[in-house]
Structure 1
Amino acid sequence: MLAITGATGQLGRLVIEALLKKVPAAQIVAAVRQVDKAQDLAELGIQVRYADYSKPESLREAFSGVSKVLLISSSEVGQRAAQHQAVIDAAKSANVELLAYTSILNAESSSLMLAEEHVATEAAIRESGVPAVILRNGWYSENYTMGIAPILQHGVMIGCAGEGRISSAPRRDYAEAAATVLTQDGQAGKVYELAGDQGFTLAEFAGYLSELTGRSITYQNLPEADYVQALEGAGVPAPFPVVLGNSETGAAAGDLFSVSKDLSQLIGHPTTPIDATIKDALATVSA
């Protein structure tokens, strides 16, 4: 059986969708914190089990009889290292054949504050002795397309990434890669740098948006402190303004760029280009 943690999250649901094309639903365990939110998964024949990163006993029960676990990193920045350790310990107790972990692109060299807990988790996995594969996910294209509505409203996209290139891909591509790794043999010990085939700058993102809408959208590069302040003023909850500001400064330094083709090789086709993802997002905004 294959267990997916955070199975009702944005990435988790897509992983399960991809897995259903490869294995019977009965072989999938959706490990979730809120079981009531996974009723639709249960109706598909997927085993839904309660699992809370902060409650180790729930993880041990959730992994009973499971052969492979996908640890989708927690969204609780600052608490993730301890939460991930609990998952690692539970996977070890369950004697799983493989633990897959969604880390971050260029983890070992990244200057992003987000990388710190990922590096710590990767080290904990190595120290545990659990057979593991590391999926170093690059930036999600949705991190930018989710902000299209206010960009269109104001006619300007703000950020602090400068001319840094971002090798993003949509969550669906990363999910497909995770499903491939979980259903293929010989994955233990591998580390994948997962990134979009083609990078873009935020000025180019604004250019694509202009072309697709027929409107003039510009990119305004700000000092990191000003960008953080703008996010706070827009109501983005802490600590995300600081995290996002730091991440874009990291992008300016090249931390979100990669020439690796691991992602497209795993999924067996080119990654989805940013303009296609923007086009899809615009259809939703228009609707």
Structure 2
Amino acid sequence: MNRILVTGATGQLGSAVIETLVKKIPASQISILTRKEEKRVKFQAEGFPAYLGDYDDVDALEKAMAGVDTVLLISAGDEGNRRQQHQNVVNAAQKAGVKNIAYTSRSLKNRATLANKLMVDHFETEDYIIASGLKYAFFRNVLYLDAIPLFIGKQATETGISLPAGDGKVAYALRSEMGEAMAHVLLQEEWENKIYNFNGGKAYSFYDIAAALTELSGKEVKYTAMETTAFEGMMKQRGLPEPVIKKIVAFLTDIKQNQEAEIGNELAIHLGRKPIALKDGLKTLFGL
């Protein structure tokens, strides 16, 4: 009987995975690692073996992995030493005798030309997992469709869109649909060191997003492809710290260079349906 440990279980991606898993297997087969005691208690009451801890707590990781066959390592945020945190999880899995490890990586075209160097952590984690000898699955997830309001603002139908992303495209997909597909893989696939490129099957520019919002809202939404220096100046006027501005610009530069424009049908295959299209997703996200 396969027992799965989901780390980062209380985040939105982890929650989507668990929601699908528990429809197919008993909660007793799904172990949970969470940083919040109230969440641990809640999961425990619902029948999940739940453990308190994080990626820096090696003892907690080893305890949570006892009797586990498969670990889903949901990527840590970039605030701490993410590479070391991921390595802690891999090392604990080896020590605990875990057979399989799945990692939520990122769908990026070329690691050698990334402007956002924080994204390199994902590829280095993949390298470390491969070197560990564990059977693995890498879920290379594209930028969440859910993130569009964060980039363009919830008032974009009133203000328009101004970003230094040129006509670069992204094959956006909903976070919940990627979590659902990941759960299906964890339950159904044989573990033979596979890579899954999960994207929406069609790539869109911010011109496309503006056109979709125009159609949905009935108001003309214009996208202005700003120069980077002008955008940086605008962000400074808004009071954003320099490191934050640099991070945002690097992210948008990778979009401009089509790092996230790769398309395929693997998400649709593992969902068992077509992923939600851009226009339908925007309609929900913007309440239109």
1:169 maps to 2:178: no
Q: Which residue of 1 aligns with 2:246?
A: 242
Q: Is the 8 A contact 1:35 1:48 kept in 2?
A: no
Q: Is the 8 A contact 1:131 1:189 kept in 2?
A: yes
Under a length normalisation based on structure 1, what TM-score does the superposition of the two structures give?
0.91
Residues 47, 76 of structure 1: alpha-carbon distance in 2 compared, 3 angstrom cutoff: same
Cα distance, 1:241–1:6 mapped onto 2, change above 3 Å = farther
Residue of structure 2 equivalent to 1:53: 55
Count of residues in Structure 1 that have an aligned counterpart in Structure 2: 283
Counterpart mapping for 1:149-188 below 5 A: 149-152=154-157, 154-188=158-192
The structural deviation recorded for 1:235 is: 6.0
Cα gap change, 1:261 to 1:217, in 2 (>3 Å): same
| Sequence identity percentage | 29
Which of 197, 208, 214 is residue 218 of structure 2 equivalent to? 214
Q: Which runs of 5+ in 1 are unaligned?
A: none
SS of equivalent residue, structure 1 residue 70: strand
Q: Which amino acid aligns with 2:73?
A: L
Indicate whether 1:122 and 2:119 are aligned.
no
> Tell me, what secondary structure is at the counterpart of 2:24?
coil
Match for residue 11 of structure 2?
9
Conserved 8 A contact 1:106-1:193: no
Task: State the partner residue of 1:95.
Answer: 97
Number of the residue aligned with 1:137: 141
Q: 1:57-103 CA distances to partner (integer Å, 9 max, x unpaired)? A: 11111111111111010013451101100011111112112100011
Q: Which amino acid aligns with 2:266?
A: D
Match of 1:69 in 2: 71
Cα contact 2:109–2:262 (8 A) shared by 1: no
Q: For 1:132, what is the secondary structure of its paired residue? A: strand
Q: Which runs of 5+ in 2 are unaligned?
A: none
Per the alignment, in what secondary structure is the counterpart of residue 250 of structure 1? Answer: helix
The aligned amino acid for 1:182 is: L
Per-residue CA deviation, residues 10-58 of structure 1 (Å, 9 max, x unaligned), is: 2111111111222111211121111213544334322221121112111
- Whole-Å Cα distance in 2 between the matches of residues 77 and 3 of structure 1? 23
Distance 1:226 1:281 in 2: 28
**SS, match of residue 23 in structure 1:** coil
Shift of 1:267: 1.4
The Cα of 1:181 is off from its aligned counterpart by 1.6
User: SS of the counterpart of 2:193?
Assistant: coil
- Give the 3 Å change call, closer, same or farther, for CA 275–56 of structure 1 in structure 2: same
Residues 31, 49 of structure 2: 8 Å contact kept: yes
Q: Single out whichever of 237-246 and 22-31 deviates more from structure 2.
A: 237-246
* Structure 1 match to 2:281: 277
